[in-house]
A and B are shown apart, each in its own frame.
Chain A
Amino acid sequence: MTVILVLIIASIIVAGGFLVAFIWSVKSGQYDDAVTPSIRMLLDNPTENNNKNNSNNQSNKSIVK
């Protein structure tokens, strides 16, 4: 039956790990803005795809002054 003791301690450690993960996620600001990331993930990355379509094959940087 002493195995229960081991199991309980193990389970508390696991649960404690989740608690730490939760606190860390709040602290790092993951819940500060729940709206923008949901939109951002649907947007395409500004990749080469864009440049290919364009006739003048200049890189972005060269246009910008």
Chain B
Amino acid sequence: MIEANKKVINSACFHCGELCLDKDIVVNKKHFCCEGCKTVFEILDTNQLCDYYSLSNNPGVSQKVKVRQDKFAYLDNEQIAEKLINFKEQNSYHVLFNLPTIHCSSCIWLLENLTRLNSNIQYSHVSFPTKEIKIIFDSSKVSLRQVAELLTSIGYEPYISLNELDGKKDKPKFNKTKIYKLGIAGFCFGNIMLMSFPEYFSIDASNVKQFELVFRYLNLILSLPVFFYSASEFYSSAWQGIKAKFLNIDAPIVLAIWVTFGRSVYEILSGTGAGYLDSMSGIVFFMLIGRVFQDRTYNYLSFERDYKSYLPVAVTIKTENGEKAIPLADLKVGDRILIHHQELVPADAILVSKQAMVDYSFVTGESIPVRKNGGEIVYAGGKQTAERIELQVIKDYSQSYLTKLWNNEIFNNTNDGTPSFIHTLSKYFTIILFSIAAISSLYWLYNDVSKLLPALTAVLIVACPCSLLLSATFTNGNILRVFGNNEFFLKKSDVIEKISKVDTVVFDKTGTLTDSAEMDVIYDGEILSENEWRTIKTITASSSHPLSKAISSYLQKYETIELNSFNEITGRGLLAEYSGNNYKLGSAIWFDKVTSSKSPEVFIEINNKFKGRFQFKNHYRKGVDAMILKLSKKYNLYVLSGDNESERYNLSQMFGNSVQLNFNQTPQDKLDFIHTLQQNGKNVMMVGDGLNDAGALKQANCGVVLTDNTNNFSPACDGILSSSKIKKLYEFILLGKAAKKIIIGSFILSILYNFVGLSFAVQGNLSPVIAAILMPVSSISIVLFTTGLSSFYGWYYQFKN
């Protein structure tokens, strides 16, 4: 009997490459792990798009979780569709979809051949880094909903969120003006340099002399775009600083640019000299390179998401005329809403259906779904994990329990905190510079008045804090690059400095230290036969409850069988029959067992005889323990968990006794906790993952979000860290700290250059040659010093460069 069962061949799915563990469908000698994958293959096969499979191996995405059929019904709603469509040209509609599952060259190929799947799609263009597809379709023949459904049918479900709908138009695009400014500055700098050569070598031959004036005036003309256009970058930022009564680093730089330009114009017009236009344009050019290098942002990642990104765009409501999809904004108190499997409850509501299994892990951090009975309140943000439920809305979606957190003032606070130490450094630099200028002026006032002005201007020209700006921008830019290569993406380069100040690290538990997708299973009970294990494996494989899934994967080595009967009782457990034996698996309440354990358990009964139980432990991410150990030597560590205390013992073993563990924390508690730490003078880094950490992430000096997929939804934060790299958190912090040392080191180097330059300047004889040599030499050496040293540190901490 048992031998007759088919042997499980763990062949990989032709479509997605996952092992066909529970199911193995064979079509054309190709294996598929689920119906979904097979369907996608069939669609592509009938349309002769099977090249998709030859471009890369198993390019698809698992289709095990089916997309509900009417999911995109709301796109028929004109109001919503209008917001998504970027541009209309008669019947040609332009739309941009975000497809998070784009991951390989096959994806690009297939998506750019959409026309072959549906000839009414006129054009499709993929942008791989942003995972976006631009589609132009004929609106008279195909609707927006059909386009979205076509994409879904081939495994690329578009991600449409409320946040994007509302703010689609003002999505920050990469600012190109800085590149234009850089290009123009580079052009002018090169040409001015070229035409200054006769001046550098002071060629006295009379036939060269006659061109001197021509060269000087050409230089003057070439310097105008640099002075008025390229350098405006610094003017605006300096002006903003002054308006805010704060002297930032750009203010002394602007002063130096103006003085240099003014003196050069005077010299050229009066015919007394060639000026320092080459130095001026060179400085502007190098500083712009630094700025562009530093500002390279990950604009395809979103660092500003709030609860709106998580809520569905539309909800299905029940009216007298049947079901209807309406935009979320139109949802009123009292509406009856229908929530399908795996959908989020958008507003606080009362459960009308008998039962629901709500997964609150996103909102509260509890790892196990909660059972709700009819009449109970289901809070917004919970995800229904069983069949479709009906609810009655009791609060507006913008006033729910979930969104209350965003009313905290911290979310309205746009202040970035204390200004960078670079500005403080530049302030002292400026004060010292002014004293030197004043002293040398005083000296010349009494000795040789004619040299006063040249000396004064020369001091200001030579000793501008440009090198300080260069050190900061190039160091930060390079560290940002190293971080990015190691899957730690920062919102802005300022975050590096925030990381360097951290002295306290706070972790969330669920999803951060633990991997919420996996659980460790322990069996405790009688020894079961192979046959019984197989039956249990089959029973659990048939259920979608997370605990069943965990057991099923724990029993991976067992083969599945054909059950005689199977019944899932939501919120209680599973009943099944196999060859005359009755199996019952389920929760403690169902079995009337009293259990002391706070962690979830699943009991097993065979023919009404208790056999044993499964216990579940959180699965900690790889390398977390070693990382914590390293961190705990230097930093204060805390764990805030929305979960119950069942993991206290495990955690205290891992963290040692020096770490404070807090359980049952609400999102508000977490925020307050961080606030208290800060009031005690701590610089806090918060590492979290879900919406339940959103407040704490925002409150913390540096909020880091952990994610399995950088395109996943992550709450507003300063940095996004790939979850596989959490083990390197300690090294990331060290590298952040190294950045500050490098900046200060290169600043000292630049002061040495300044001494050389100033020694000429105070004497009032700064020749253009010296200025022209000093400027590029100091700039380039600082660029090399900072990028080289920061790359060295990256290598030293074993980062991929």
User: Count of chain B residues with Cβ under 8 Å from any Cβ of A?
Assistant: 35
B174 and A32 contact, CB distance less than 8 A? yes
Q: Please tell me if the beta carbons of A33 and B214 are within 8 angstroms of each other in the complex.
A: no
B652 lies within 8 A of chain A by Cβ: no
Of residues 149 through 200 on chain B, the ones whose CB sits less than 8 Å from some CB of chain A are 174, 176, 179-180, 183-184, 187, 190-191, 195
Are the C-beta atoms of A19 and B184 separated by less than 8 Å? yes
B-chain residues with CB within 8 Å of residue A61 when the two chains form the complex? 119
Is the pair B130, A33 in contact by a Cβ cutoff of 8 Å? Answer: yes
In contact, A36 and B180 (Cβ under 8 angstroms) = no
Q: A23-B180, A64-B118 are in contact. Are A35 and B48 (CB under 8 A)?
A: no
- Shortest distance in angstroms between B631's beta carbon and chain A's nearest beta carbon? 35
User: Are A39 and B105 CB-contacts (below 8 A) given A23-B183, A33-B127, A33-B128?
Assistant: yes
Query: With the chains together, A35 CA to B195 CA distance in Å?
Result: 39
Given the known A-B contacts A26-B180, A33-B127, A33-B129, are A60 and B55 also in contact in the complex, defined by CB atoms under 8 Å?
no
Shortest distance from the beta carbon of B193 to any chain A beta carbon, whole Å: 12
Q: Do A26 and B105 touch across chains, with their CB atoms under 8 A apart?
A: no
A40 vs B657: C-alpha distance when bound (angstroms) = 55
Whether the Cβ atoms of A22 and B183 lie closer than 8 Å is yes
Question: Bound state CA distance, A29 and B166, in angstroms?
Answer: 25
Residues of A within 8 A of B180 (CB): 23, 26
Name which of B106-114, B318-326, B695-703 contacts chain A: B106-114
CB pair A51 B48 closer than 8 Å: yes
Q: Which residues of A contact B117 (CB under 8 A)?
A: 64
Contacts A61-B119, A63-B47 given; does A36 touch B127 at CB 8 Å: yes
A side interface size, CB within 8 A:
31
Q: Is B46 an interface residue (CB 8 A)?
A: yes
B48 x A50 contact (CB < 8 A) = yes
Bound Cα distance A41, B418 (Å): 48
Q: Is B51 an interface residue (CB 8 A)?
A: yes
Once the chains bind, are B183 and A16 in contact (CB under 8 Å)?
no
- Alpha-carbon separation in the docked complex, A61 to B301 (Å): 38
Contact B105 A15 (CB under 8 A): no
Q: Does B596 sit within 8 A of A, measured CB to CB?
A: no
Instruction: Tell me, yes or no, whether B461 is within 8 Å of chain A by CB.
Output: no
Would you mind naming 21 contact pairs between A and B with Cβ atoms under 8 Å apart?
A4-B211, A5-B214, A12-B218, A15-B191, A19-B183, A19-B187, A22-B183, A26-B176, A26-B179, A26-B183, A31-B179, A32-B127, A33-B130, A36-B126, A36-B127, A36-B129, A42-B105, A43-B112, A51-B48, A60-B47, A64-B118
Q: Please list the residues of chain A having a beta carbon within 8 angstroms of any beta carbon in chain B.
A: 1, 4-5, 8, 12, 15-16, 18-19, 22-23, 26-27, 31-33, 35-36, 39-40, 42-44, 46, 50-51, 54, 60-61, 63-64
| 5 nearest CB pairs, A to B | A36-B128, A19-B187, A35-B128, A39-B105, A43-B109
